[in-house]
A and B are shown apart, each in its own frame.
Chain A
Amino acid sequence: MQTDKRTSSKSPTRVLTVVQALREAVREEMRRDERVFVLGEDIRIGGSFLFTLGLLDEYGPERVLNTPISEAGFVGLAIGAAIQGLRPIIDFQYGDFIFTAFDQIIQQCTKLRYMSGGQVSIPLVFQLPTGASGRGAQHANSVETVFFGLPGLKIVTPATPYDAKGLFKSAVRDDNPVLFCVHKHLYGSKGRQLAASSISRGHVPDDEYLVPLGKGDIKKRGSDITVVANGLMLHRSLNVAEALESEGLSAEVIDPRCLVPFDADLVIDSVIKTSRLVIVEEGNERGGWGAQLAAEIAGAAIGYLDAPILRVASPNVPIPFSPVLENAVIPDESRIRNAILEVMDH
């Protein structure tokens, strides 16, 4: 198996960033399956987060299509191509731009299979940089939240290099449309800020592996409280949990990895053990996936809870530009810590 030229191969601990892991994943899947191709804006130079860096050289313009700025057009085109047997991957410069293709996703991509009585399937991966990164409101959407309630899509929010690679390969092999949402501070692309945590870089095996869609992962085991967080918020929650460990509080940190399907059983089992739950997400609080999870836990395990479920999320405002304001809106480590302590004090 060929590896990314920018990383050392066959090393016992091959430490990669998320974007390096994703570049390996897409190469391996294109090599494995002739039907897989990638399209998007400026992908010949790597796209915005360098996900496709070097891909054109390896696979040529027939399978690495540089598109016009025409999101509704090329999303629709990818849907049609998928219906007729290809397996497209659409690379979005910013996930925020997907909204100009809203009808194609909400009305076409997710419904054509259902409306036709199962006559068609649409294997299609959307590579979507998500979340706030100092660019003002129109480049700061938590894209995954907007689509969370929509039947017919799968939604993946990987947070580590290992998970990103394994989940991406599973997404490409899935016969459904998959939104693959990676936080802009987690790629680790050159020139981009990378979240500071113990897992934002990490070991990725040489040998091929898959991470199944719909299975969560316990990133830190603990016994006093359960913290569920994804994307950038997972890293912040883990930092808080590691700090609290030295203060004698044992928090279990769960990464759902996929929002749809959601591994609620993993959270239920953890809550039965800890009796306390905090849910952390970056998107606006109203209508977030955390609300759905809180309702599910209340329905399935309320008798095990010793304290109210607390959610940490952005208030219901667009994301402001000024770094002071953006930091005030997006959940930071002190807000997460305070929520955990509040639940513990209950």
Chain B
Amino acid sequence: MYLKIEAPQRSISKEAVKVWRITETLENAGILAVLGILYYLHMRFEWKEWIGWIILGLLILTVLNAIWEILFEPTLKQKYWRYDVDEEFIQLKHGALKEVNELIPMTKVQSVELNQGPFLRKYGLYSIQIGTMGTEHAIPAIPEKEAFELRDQIAHYAKIKEVE
């Protein structure tokens, strides 16, 4: 009597793309700045040659990574993010290159939390953090009204605990 698994349907806000672009830009700029300073120090104090190569290598990798993370990844990530919540399970499906499917029984959910950083606030979004006995999961960008509803829903379902 196998049930067919319904792939999760609900997607996250399109605005997530913009938020990610901003945060990724800031993050990568930070890493570039640190590497830049290191490279400057390397030239200034004449550190060993191979250190310079490693810094240069990391710089190139960061630039390539930044192009991917700022220009391409946000759209793909948003496009593929899916989640669903019912009485029994929370289902998450995400990943641009690697498809990740997660299945979390409601009875194992320990906490639900809404988070909003400055950029999410700008677009009226929240991220939902779900804590289980083992790990933390986050659904990244959900419009305010939906987010509050979802939180209450999870909190309601999660009240039921298993006999261990």
A complexed with B = no
Q: Which residues of B contact A (CB under 8 A)?
A: none
Q: Which residues of A contact B (CB under 8 A)?
A: none
